[in-house]
Amino acid sequence: MRFLVRLCFALAPGLATAQTLSGDPVVGRQLAERWCASCHLVSSRPAGPVGDGAEPFQSIADRPTTSALSLRVFLQKPHGQMPDLQITHQEANDLIAYILSLRGR
Ligand code: HEC
């Protein structure tokens, strides 16, 4: 399964769907740990206490309404007093790929 997912990412750039598939979940996880972990539970094993009631990424990923599109729209603006990080399109793709990779874990 992991291999298939990687294969999809590897093949994605040539396809019309590249916009939604070109994120790298490994990079996305690093970004999430740097930028999002102060409020969200990023991995299923927390390194320490997480503050202010933001939903864990796991449960966001498991919501049936969550999709690459809903996440992209949401991430276009800062939220929850999060600093304006000026997330680039590529960084948003990586974060989205990471969050969606948690689905069903
Ligand atoms: C300063 C705290 C803070 C930071 C930093 C933060 N968030 Fe959030 N986030 C929140 C809060 C609070 C909510 C719930 C309320 C809301 O939607 O504004 C939330 C909600 C969300 C949601 C759920 C949207 C939905 O559909 O309900 C997503 C996705 C999300 N954050 C992603 C991220 C990502 C990705 C990062 C890092 C780039 C990040 N957040 C950084 C506080 C934060």
Q: Assess whether the C-beta atom of 79 lies below 6 angstroms from ligand 1.
A: yes
Burial zone of 25 (CB within 10 Å; 0-12 exposed, 13-18 middle, 19+ buried): buried
**Do 60 and 66 meet the contact criterion of CB atoms below 8 Å apart?**
yes
Tell me what pLDDT residue 86 has. 85
Residues in the chain, overall count: 105
Q: Assess whether the C-beta atom of 9 lies below 6 angstroms from ligand 1.
A: no
Tell me what pLDDT residue 22 has. 84
Q: Assess whether the C-beta atom of 88 lies below 6 angstroms from ligand 1.
A: no
Tell me what pLDDT residue 43 has. 76
Q: How many CA atoms lie within 13 A of 33 on its CB side?
A: 11
Tell me what pLDDT residue 17 has. 44
Cα torsion through 70, 71, 77, 82, rounded to 10: 140
pLDDT by 10-residue block (mean), the chain, 105 residues: 58 48 91 92 67 83 96 91 86 96 89
